[in-house]
Structure 1
Amino acid sequence: MEPRAMAASAAQRRPSPLHPKLERLDPAKPHTFIRPTKRIIEGSDMSHFLTSGAYRDIMLFIFQLNRSLCPRKKTAGSSAPTPTPTPGPPRARARADPNVQTFTLSAGRNSDIEPIKKLRELLKKVDAIIDEAPPDKNAGRRFGYAQFRDFYALLEQRADSLLKEYLPQHVLGFSTQQQPPESGEGRVGPMEELKAYFLGSWGSQQRLDYGTGHELSFLVFLGCLYKLGAFQDDSRDTDEISRSIVFGVIEPYLKVARRLILTYMLEPAGSHGVWGLDDHSFMPYIFGSAQLTRPISSETEPMPLEGSVAGAPKPSDVVKVELANPHKEENMYFSAIGFINDVKTGPFWEHSPMLFDISGITDGWGKVNKGMLKMYDAEVLHKFPVVQHFPFGSLFSWEADPAAAKPERTVHMAQQPTATLPQGGGGGTRTPWAQTGGTTGGIAAPMLPRNPPAAAAAAAAGDAGASSGRFVSDVPSTFPQGDPGTASAQYSITAAPWAKKK
């Protein structure tokens, strides 16, 4: 810890960038890899997680990817080509600003760097395994076809060969350092860490579920690759590479995950039920809203807290299929909405009340994006049922971040379980508000009042005290502030616009 503390102290003396990026390891220096293990055993471990290097790096990587998707203004004298207007309905094309560059899903992927293309081929291989383990449609199950375990077993058997075939060789051959004898470990290489997160990205074979914890595992898999220099390319800037990671890898991953969900009827993991943002995913709502924010004019300008790019659909368009569908091939937010519309029936406000609340925001996609970042931290990274199975290695470390502030005690911290939840039958998917007790080990969650459409829309428009909707009331108004250049310091520029002022 002493060298690390010294490095942190030196870093604090140097000017920190306003928008720090995830740090890459120096390939010239041997690195001690660690076999990833579970460390979050009970609720009290959450405080340590929120000050860990892993938490810091997860947030840094999300902020980095998020910012890369924000539209950019062309500056005077810029040599950048005039961008093609964003595809979409005629009204959107007519309003698009030719002096603003936007980034869409349909942009040509042929220009992606080779590691990005290889990862897409890897995802196609995973998708093809689904065909080798068809579900038994005669089983009559509402959730969780057991054949998902066959899919997972095949993937587990082939994981080593798949990663060796599709990951850069310089990553798999990254210089390793022998573990100290007292650790009981032999030489552990990058494969052990990468495989743990890769296999954790596809749902649980025990619980037959899929949720934001598995989505997080895939994000960390990509973060590990980034740290190991998999995406290093001197001809591309960091933002361009970050966009390629989101559009060229994360969106294709989400499509495979959605096929898994539909094929095997996977249950939502760690779900809030109807009161969650989405049954299974969160990332597309962060990145999709970033695509539509007000443009920035320089790399020092903070992400906008309100406003939208010219030609953007309105947040309220998500509630009508005919308005949402034209954008699902261009934007990740609307792509996720399209999946919901494909699998759910009935009024949108009834099956997706949280997203309906958000659709009433009138201050633009910048406000939605900032709220999504804060909500992700509160509803995913602060929740024991979501992160309890996350394993920690050397790349995303359990060690404390020397620059981290002490976590503030919020409603999320107060509601953590005080003992290990039972494994298997329901411990991983129990709703966060369920109470332990009784002979069955738990009781049903209380019925929550449902927002009527008019009240939900009014609350989402900006009145933080006007609604019982969880999108407003469950998000803490303050977050710990860390040193400049750290993940926790980012909240100084990304605080949710509707947060109450103290």
Structure 2
Amino acid sequence: MTTIPCLGQSGPLASYTEPTKRIHDGTDVQFFLQSLAYRDITTFILQLNRSLVPRKRSADGTIKEFKPDSPCQEDLLPQVRLIQQLVSKLEALIAEAPPDTGPRRFGNVSFRKWYQSVEERVEGFLRHVLPETLHPAIVEVQAYLLGSFGSAQRLDYGSGHELSFLAFLACLWKLGYFNAEPEKAELQLTESQADTTPQPQDQYREFARTEPHIVLAIFRPYLNLIRTLIQTYNLEPAGSHGVWGLDDNSFLPYIFGSAQLCPPLPDPDTEPPAPTPTSGSLASSPDPSIVTKRNLVEKEAAHNLYFSAILFIHNIKRGPFWEHSPMLFDISGIKDGWGKINKGLIKMYDAEVLSKFPVVQHFPFGNLLRWEKDPSARPVIQTTHQSNQPLRDPMNGGGSTNATGTRPPGANVGTAAPWASGAGTRAPPPLGFVDGVTQAPWAKSSAVTPGARGRMPPPRSARQSPGQSTHSQASQPTSRST
């Protein structure tokens, strides 16, 4: 993996617009994968990912790791602390909407009361967080923030909502919010905070880049808020792959957590830049196989995002780990180190989140994340998943749509299975779909049907690295969309 370009910080724009839905069918997904928005999102993910890889100081050979307790709270940029306050205020609103009592099969309807409270107050919260010069941008960043807490209609949460929060942070990054000096950004700190704020030059000397702050001091508290919402209101998984998905709700903590455990990069102050590691591990990193041992996971969860996500699974699921989380169990057997896992997870995220219609169909586009073709984008390579994307827009009378959202002439057909041909005959089903059942990416056609209790876990020798399998083998998710 080569070094990556940085997502530019363009500062305030001339105009802003409320983000709108543009993805109506599989053809629109193809356009999205060549859009400026896709370029900015993927670049931002890679920046955050690389920023968490440990650094080796050339002077004394010591290794600097990025953990939730580094940087210290007093070292955080004022902008970061303001976003932390925003997340804390959102969590405090849960007390105003206690869950309804009584048994429920699906999500608790009190989540709608909490979400309504957020809708009513989010603009005021953002006006407190953003400098006055960026207040016109609230119309855009607010849409992504509101989209990051789950669906109040479906009472669910999934990786598409997580993507929305990433987009919220990417918009702030593009606006130059995290690079603004406090006195120029007119940040509204309280008097007690202002007294303890380190001088900007001291901050930037220790933390030349702010991306680790964004993940460890903002994204991590956001994850804690989401886990509280899921457990408080019993939110359903959105767009779940069933047991063959990586996780019912999240994906990004596995990427960022694996980056924390990669082999160290050379000191950027004294050494030339090196590619992000794609194999090997930090010498002190835990073995991936400990995911099945809750006591060991608990020790690592406080310091690492990957294991904090694993611990949440242990908290909400019962039974053998390999049975309820077979994909993560499969990853735990990879022998090439956390660098290999990190590389595979990034590829898998592109295939299973950004390239999937059920996940990105509700993602809106404005002037910060633009629905325009990237002139430098490469042609999208067709895969089994992409060729099986939905081609009909229910809001358009059930007919097919193209990238502009209009129905082609003569496309007045009903909904059919993704592998059904237009002539009434059926083409072979996609790989991984055997006898009407979606199988694990590493399973053969003769394997035991998924979900059969009491079966043995797949042999570790048969495991693949993340990113190798689901893009070409696992079938499209068929449950709710995010």
TM range (shorter): 0.7 to 0.9
Cα 1:208–1:310 shift into 2, 3 Å: same
**2:315 — aligned with what?**
342
Q: Does 1:110 align with 2:93?
A: no
1:279 corresponds to which of 233, 248, 257:
248
User: Which letter maps to 1:156?
Assistant: E
Question: Matched residues in 2 for 1:434 and 1:277: separation?
Answer: 24
For structure 2, the residue ranges without an aligned partner over 5 or more in a row are: 182-199, 397-415, 421-434, 440-448, 474-482
Question: Matched residues in 1 for 2:379 and 2:341: separation?
Answer: 27
Counterparts of 1:160-309 in structure 2 under 5 Å?
160-172=123-135, 189-232=136-179, 233=181, 235=201, 236=204, 240-297=209-266, 299=268, 300-309=273-282
Question: Matched residues in 1 for 2:57 and 2:252: separation?
Answer: 28
**2:364 — aligned with what?**
391
Question: Matched residues in 2 for 1:169 and 1:271: separation?
Answer: 40
Question: Matched residues in 1 for 2:256 and 2:38: separation?
Answer: 19
User: Which letter maps to 1:459?
Assistant: A
Q: Does 1:71 align with 2:54?
A: yes
User: Which letter maps to 1:446?
Assistant: V
**2:480 — aligned with what?**
none
Query: Are the aligned partners of 2:345 and 2:467 in contact in 1 as well (CA < 8 Å)?
Result: no
Q: Does 1:360 align with 2:324?
A: no
Deviation at 1:316, TM superposition (A): 0.5
**1:446 — aligned with what?**
437
Q: Secondary structure at the match of 1:455?
A: coil
Question: Matched residues in 2 for 1:366 and 1:421: separation?
Answer: 42
Deviation at 1:471, TM superposition (A): 5.5
Deviation at 1:131, TM superposition (A): 1.2
- Cα RMSD of the aligned pairs, angstroms, is 2.4
Deviation at 1:434, TM superposition (A): 7.3
Q: Residue by residue, what CA displacement relative to the aligned partner does 1:148-181 show, whole Å, maximum 9, x if unpaired?
A: 1111111101111111112233322xxxxxxxxx
Cα 1:74–1:403 shift into 2, 3 Å: same
Cα 1:249–1:323 shift into 2, 3 Å: same
**Total equivalences in the alignment:** 400
User: Which letter maps to 1:342?
Assistant: N
Q: Secondary structure at the match of 1:231?
A: helix
**2:110 — aligned with what?**
147
Question: Matched residues in 2 for 1:255 and 1:214: separation?
Answer: 14
Q: Secondary structure at the match of 1:397?
A: coil
Cα 1:168–1:141 shift into 2, 3 Å: same
Question: Matched residues in 2 for 1:322 and 1:199: separation?
Answer: 36
Q: Residue by residue, what CA displacement relative to the aligned partner does 1:114-143 show, whole Å, maximum 9, x if unpaired?
A: 0100000000110011111111121x2122
Question: Matched residues in 2 for 1:411 and 1:436: separation?
Answer: 10
**1:499 — aligned with what?**
none
Q: Residue by residue, what CA displacement relative to the aligned partner does 1:54-74 show, whole Å, maximum 9, x if unpaired?
A: 000000000000000001111
**1:485 — aligned with what?**
none
Question: Matched residues in 2 for 1:313 and 1:142: separation?
Answer: 38
Q: Secondary structure at the match of 2:257?
A: helix
**2:462 — aligned with what?**
459
Deviation at 1:239, TM superposition (A): 6.0
Counterparts of 1:311-322 in structure 2 under 5 Å?
311-322=284-295
Cα 1:292–1:435 shift into 2, 3 Å: same
Q: Residue by residue, what CA displacement relative to the aligned partner does 1:444-474 show, whole Å, maximum 9, x if unpaired?
A: 97253449655352233x5x7xxxxx86422
Structure 1 stretches of 4+ with a deviation exceeding 6 A read none
Cα 1:52–1:39 shift into 2, 3 Å: same
Deviation at 1:282, TM superposition (A): 0.5
